[in-house]
């Protein structure tokens, strides 16, 4: 009745933005990500007959009733499959800032899915885990796998899951620039909901995102770094543009986010291929050649503290501990 797992965060190169089913977390569009080895979550679950309710500790802090109920609803998917009604204590450690646009929900729910699978002896395979992780948070669907991962949107619970595309063992990496670690005001969940409901630009997103994905997949197959970078950057900017059209409008950029984007553009002009992407928060991620990361990091160090600049390699699949 005990399980422990580690899952790594992933950063989308082609973004998931918008749901067609809020309860099942079925996305409007398919997406593609890179799993990172520098940021992860470790979660331990213990089912205990003596417990009267579930308990959730995140980074050693007992979580609110609201967070615990959200977690309990997720655990219920596993309890149902195991025909079990016992409560659990969940202890999770995020080695990634929480709710700052660095995908803690992705590694968080993927690690929890793994730990629950082990604790209840369900022996679910990765495809099944990917589907259930999705019910916690959409981006968690992809964190079951390492490397480049595609999440096919599907149209029901059984057809919406991720699969590994490429182990990304070529010269790629990601530099994460922590502009601001604080929890964001508008969660990705709320942000995408508002965008779908109110932004006239959302139509433009839907009309082009599948083509972006197709191009990104071709670039990965050809190991064409520059083509992959270009499509990554333009897809991220397109997603952020949909938010400016929402009502009320919102924006995750901060002044320092724009500064990082400018550095990336300057470096490219100087012949260093690198491309930025951003999620639901001000932190910027730079897709780069691992071999060129020192040049990029040295330039960023002229503006940011060393601890704000983190180089990540490619992360592996979900691991059991
Ligand atoms: P992020 O950009 O960090 O993914 P989100 O707002 O999308 O931010 O998700 C943050 C939420 O994910 C948290 O409020 C919490 O509900 C959930 N979460 C984060 N870490 C964990 C974890 N380790 N275990 C379970 N849930 C988690
Ligand atoms: C901008 O997976 O956090 O990071 O499914 O509502 O939990 P929920 O949202 P979440 O959204 C991620 C949005 C994104 C893009 C991406 O990761 O694809």
Give the pLDDT confidence of 142-195 residue by residue, as tens digits: 999 999 999 999 999 999 999 999 999 999 999 999 999 887 789 999 999 999
Helix, strand or coil, per DSSP, at residue 100: coil
Q: pLDDT per residue over 115-152, tens digit each?
A: 999 999 999 999 999 999 999 999 999 999 999 999 99
Q: How far is the CA of 302 from the centre of ligand 2 (A)?
A: 31
Using most ligand atoms within 8 A of CB, pick from 12, 141, 188, 277 the residue to mutate for ligand 2. Answer: 188
| Closest ligand by atom to 184 CA | 1
Q: How far apart are CA 220 and CA 166, in angstroms?
A: 8
The pLDDT assigned to 193 comes to 98
The pLDDT assigned to 127 comes to 98
The pLDDT assigned to 184 comes to 75
The pLDDT assigned to 101 comes to 74
Percentage helix, strand, coil for the chain under 3-state DSSP, each rounded to 5? 40, 25, 30
Q: Among the atoms of ligand 1, which is closest to the Cα of residue 280?
A: 2
Q: Which residues of the chain register pLDDT less than 50?
A: none
Strands annotated E in the chain: 2-14, 19-21, 26-27, 31-47, 55-58, 61-62, 88-95, 148-152, 161-166, 173-177, 274-278, 284-288, 309-312, 319-320
Q: How far is the CA of 189 from the centre of ligand 2 (A)?
A: 7
Q: Among the atoms of ligand 1, which is closest to the Cα of residue 70?
A: 16
Category of 272 on φ-ψ map: left (φ > 0), alpha (ψ -120 to 50) or beta? beta
Q: Among the atoms of ligand 1, which is closest to the Cα of residue 58?
A: 23
Category of 121 on φ-ψ map: left (φ > 0), alpha (ψ -120 to 50) or beta? left
Does ligand 1 lie within 6 Å of residue 283's CB atom?
Answer: no
Residue whose Cα lies nearest atom 14 of ligand 2: it is 279
Residue whose Cα lies nearest atom 1 of ligand 2: it is 279
The pLDDT assigned to 43 comes to 98
Using most ligand atoms within 8 A of CB, pick from 99, 184, 188 the residue to mutate for ligand 1. Answer: 99
Pocket of ligand 2 (CB under 6 A): 12, 15-17, 25, 31, 105, 137-139, 188-189, 279-280
Q: How far is the CA of 225 from the centre of ligand 1 (A)?
A: 30
The pLDDT assigned to 140 comes to 98
Q: Among the atoms of ligand 2, which is closest to the Cα of residue 11?
A: 17
Using most ligand atoms within 8 A of CB, pick from 98, 116, 141, 142 the residue to mutate for ligand 1. Answer: 98
The pLDDT assigned to 25 comes to 98
Q: How far apart are CA 244 and CA 156, in angstroms?
A: 30
Q: pTM score > 0.85 for this model?
A: yes
> β-strands 2-14, 173-177: how paired?
unpaired
């Amino acid at each position: 009745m005990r399980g422990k797992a580690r899952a790594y965060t992933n950063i989308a190169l082609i973004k998931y933005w918008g749901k067609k089913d809020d309860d099942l977390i079925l996305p409007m569009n398919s997406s593609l990500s890179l799993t990172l080895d520098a940021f992860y979550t470790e979660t331990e679950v213990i089912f205990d007959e003596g417990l009267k309710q579930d308990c959730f500790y995140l980074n050693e802090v007992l979580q609110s009733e609201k967070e615990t109920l959200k977690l309990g609803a997720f655990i219920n998917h596993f309890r149902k499959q195991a025909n079990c009604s016992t409560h659990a204590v969940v202890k999770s450690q995020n080695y990634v800032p929480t709710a700052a646009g660095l995908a803690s929900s992705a590694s968080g729910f993927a690690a929890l899915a793994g730990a629950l699978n082990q604790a209840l002896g369900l022996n679910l395979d990765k495809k099944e885990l990917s589907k259930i992780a999705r019910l916690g948070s959409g981006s968690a669907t992809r964190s079951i796998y390492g490397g480049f991962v595609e999440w096919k949107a599907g149209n029901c619970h059984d057809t919406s899951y991720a699969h590994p595309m490429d182990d990304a063992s070529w010269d790629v990496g990601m530099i994460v620039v922590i502009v601001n670690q604080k929890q964001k005001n508008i969660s990705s969940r709320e942000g995408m909901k508002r965008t779908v409901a109110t932004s006239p630009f959302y139509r433009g997103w839907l009309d082009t995102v599948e083509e972006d994905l197709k191009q990104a997949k071709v670039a990965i197959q050809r190991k064409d770094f520059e083509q992959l970078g270009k499509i990554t950057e333009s897809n991220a900017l397109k997603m952020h543009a949909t938010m400016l059209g929402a009502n009320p409008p919102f924006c995750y950029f901060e002044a320092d986010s724009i500064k990082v984007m400018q550095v990336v553009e300057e470096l490219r002009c100087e012949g260093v291929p690198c491309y930025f992407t951003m999620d639901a928060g001000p932190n910027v991620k730079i897709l780069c050649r691992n071999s060129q990361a020192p040049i990029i990091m040295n330039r960023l160090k002229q503006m940011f503290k060393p601890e704000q600049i983190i180089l990540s390699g490619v992360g592996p699949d979900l691991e059991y501990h």
